[in-house]
Amino acid sequence: MDTKLKQIAPILLRITMSLIVLWFGYAQVTNPSTWLGFLPSWTKSLPITQLDLIYFNGVFEIVFGIFLLMGFYTRFVALALALHLFDIAYTVGYGALGVRDIGLAVSTLVVCFNGIDSACLDKIFVNKV
């Protein structure tokens, strides 16, 4: 039984993290104005609007969340999302949101470290697990 749990744990973590990222991405794309308060003030000086920045971030999270869910380019996608979450945690600073995002970032980094699990689409393309 212990071996079975060790096989399921990486799959469960990857799928859970992908669903979290997908939820945030979907929420940003469907209602971007509610996310404006989370953006740092320096984003007002960017050559794109803050709403466009939120849309871009939401689409990024949806695309990478789908890839992570499917286990497609698993290590690369998990690393990109972990770095993205570390950046978000740094941007929001120390507090409830920052601590939560550090936890999500570390969890996603663990998915990267685990690599391809037995339920990844990558398994079709890579001859090892």
Domain of 50 in residue numbering reads as: 2-125
Tens-place pLDDT, residues 12-23: 999 999 999 999
Tens-place pLDDT, residues 51-83: 999 999 999 999 999 999 999 999 999 999 999
Give, to the nearest 10 degrees, the angle between helix 74-92 and helix 50-70.
140
Distance CA 54, CA 45 (A): 15
Task: Count how many domains the chain has.
Answer: 1
When pLDDT is cut at 50, 70 and 90, the band that residue 129 belongs to is very low
Distance CA 64, CA 19 (A): 11
Distance CA 84, CA 58 (A): 12
Tokens 């890579």 identify what position? 126
